[in-house]
Each structure stands twice: as structure tokens, then as C-alpha cells.
Homo-oligomer: A and B are copies of this chain.
Amino acid sequence: MRSNSVQTGSNPTFTESARRTQIMQCAIEVLAESGYSGASLAEIARRAGISKSVVLYYFSGKDDLLSSVVFDVYGRAGQAIAEALSHETSPGEKIAAYVRTNLHFLEEHSAEIRAVVEIVSNARGADGTHSFVPQGEDPVLAHLEKLLREGQRSGDFRNFDAHYLAIIIRSAIDTASGRLVVDPSFDLAAYTRELLSVVELATGTHRTEDSS
């Protein structure tokens, strides 16, 4: 009889999927407002107006809940970005769309992103190592890096180190979620404008010949 805890059966009940999304949503709110250490099962349950046991009925444990949140948000963000990039053709436009879409998603889903950041940067396994920070290749970074390299191969971009420029651009994107939550005067539109112009200058879009 392993029919006790639900663990994502093939045909989820209406109650099941509703509860799962509700619990995940509450977890996101608590994580965004109170941080990782404030996001206890009891607090999440209290927020949802349910008993702590219900959370553990639909998720096999806290790890399961948190990784579900990460994968859910992560997936939706990736989808939005992929969709936006498919409309662009030139490397310069692709990079610009990448930055714009990332920050736009952030604007509409700041709590989700904040929650994911909180989880990714704090969740650790029993051995003490990060649970979500990729060990070797970071696919997110690799994707951006690929876009940069394509622009270099086509001659649209100047000769920079694609790997490290990708890290710089990602850091500028990732820092925005923290600003949004802590600084009410933070103007995401202005930030997007500034970052876009920095990226354009850094990639050297429209430049083909070497001046020196």
C-alpha cells in the first residue's frame, strides 16, 4: 500500500492539482517576503489556511516542495524567453530580446523569481553543498554564451570573451530581483534601458572592422 502520499500520480485529482499550486504559491509568497529561513512548513501552511500535514500529504517533503517551485518557475521563464527569441533573427536583436524578456518576466513575476533565488542560493544537501547550483556547466549561462558566440561568428559582435561577458550580463539580470524587492524607487524600465545600452556597447553591435 504505497497509496498514502500522493507523489504525482498519473491522473491527479482536481483537489490535488489545486492544492499543489496553492501550496506552491504560498511557499513563493513566504519565501519572497520572509526569506529562506522564514519559510518553514508551518508558516507556509498557516499562509494557506491549512494544516502542516496537508503540505506533506501533497509533497513528499520540504525538498520536494522547494524543487517543485524551482522547476515550475524556471520552466515558465525559459518558455517565455524561448518564445521571445524565436521572433528575432539578428544576433544583436536576439541579445536585446533576451535581456528585455528576462527583465520583463521579472517585473511580472518578481515574487516567483525572488523565491527561486532564495531557494537556489540557500538550499543545501546533507553534505553541505548547494542543491540547485549546477556543478559543471550552467545551462542558463551556456545559452547566453551561445547567443554571444553566434554574434561573433557572424561578425556582428566584437572580440570579447563570451563566457565572462555572459556572466556579467547574467549578474546584471539576476541582481534586479533583489533590487525590486528592497528598493521601491527602483525603476525597472530605466534599468532595462541602461542595461540594453551597456550590452550594445559591450558587444559592439554594428561594428565589423578593427580600427587599430
Which A residues lie at the B interface, using CB under 8 A? 33-38, 121-122, 124, 128, 130, 133, 160-161, 164-165, 167-168, 170-172, 174-175, 178-179, 182, 187, 190-191, 193-195, 197-198, 201-202, 204
Contact = CB atoms under 8 A, between A and B. Distances in A.
Contact of A122 (B35, B170, B204): B35
A160 B200 CA distance: 13
Contacts of A37: 36-37, 122, 124
Nearest to A194: B164
A201 B168 CA distance: 14
Given A161-B193, A170-B175, 19 more contacts: A33-B128, A34-B124, A34-B128, A35-B124, A37-B124, A121-B178, A161-B190, A164-B194, A164-B195, A167-B172, A167-B175, A167-B179, A167-B191, A168-B194, A171-B172, A171-B174, A198-B202, A201-B201, A201-B204
15 contacts: A33-B128, A35-B128, A38-B124, A38-B128, A130-B182, A161-B194, A164-B190, A164-B195, A165-B194, A165-B198, A168-B172, A168-B175, A201-B201, A201-B204, A202-B202
| Majority secondary structure of chain A interface residues (helix, strand, loop or mixed) | helix
Contacts of A168: 172, 175, 194-195, 198
A121 to B, nearest CB: 7
Nearest to A34: B128
Contacts of A34: 124, 128
Contacts of A178: 121
A124 to B, nearest CB: 6
Contact of A198 (B38, B121, B198): B198
